[in-house]
Homo-oligomer: A and B are copies of this chain.
Amino acid sequence: MSMQDRPLKWNADQVIAWLRREFPQAFLHGGDFQIENLEPGQARVRAVLDDTALRPGGTVMGPAMMKVADVSCYVHLLGHDGEQAAHSVTTNMAMSFLRKPEPGDIVCEIKTLKHGRTLVVMDLKIYSAASNDLIANAEMTYYNAVR
C-alpha cells in the first residue's frame, strides 16, 4: 500500500513525551502504555494492565480492551502527523471479542487501511501478551484534524 511511504513526523519517544504532557489521563486507570514499534503505516502498542483492568471471571474487562484500541490509534496518528493530529477524534469503531483474554498485558497491532484527507481507517489485531492469542479484531475510523 502506498501509505507505507508516508513518512512519520514523530518517533515513539516524541509521541510518548507529548502524551505524558498533554493527555496524562490516557495513562491513568488500569495500566501504562508502551510503543513497541512505530513505522510508516503500522504500529504496535503494549498496554501493561494491572488488576483494576480485570472483571468477574478473572479476565480483562471489555472497556480496558476498547481503551487500548483507541489510545493505540491515537498513538499511530500522532506518529504520522505529529501535533496536528491532537484534535483528531474517533468517528467509528467496530470490535469483536474473539477469545477470553489472559490476565495481564495486551498488545495491539495497527495497520493503516486508508489515510485519506478526511478519514483515517485502521485495522487492529489485539493479542494477549502471555499467550500470543488473538483476542480481538477491530476497525477504527478517525476524523482527521490535519489540514
B113 pairs with A96, CB closer than 8 A: yes
Which range holds the interface residue count of chain A? 35 or more
Contacts of A139 in B (CB 8 A): 94, 96, 137, 139
Copies of this chain, tallied across the complex: 4
A121 pairs with B98, CB closer than 8 A: yes
Q: B-facing mask of A106-147, CB < 8 A → 1, else 0?
A: 000000011000110101000000000010010101000000
- Knowing A63-B63, A63-B67, A113-B137, say if A56 contacts B94 (CB, 8 Å): no
Q: B-facing mask of A5-43, CB < 8 A → 1, else 0?
A: 000000000000000001101101110000000000000
A1 nearest in chain B by CB position: B134
Say yes or no: is A48 at the interface (Cβ < 8 Å to chain B): no
B97 pairs with A95, CB closer than 8 A: no
Contact partner of A28 (CB less than 8 A), chosen from B29, B87, B89, B92, is B29
Q: Which residues of A contact B (CB under 8 A)?
A: 1, 22-23, 25-26, 28-30, 51-57, 59, 61-63, 66-67, 70-71, 86-87, 89-100, 113-114, 118-119, 121, 123, 134, 137, 139, 141
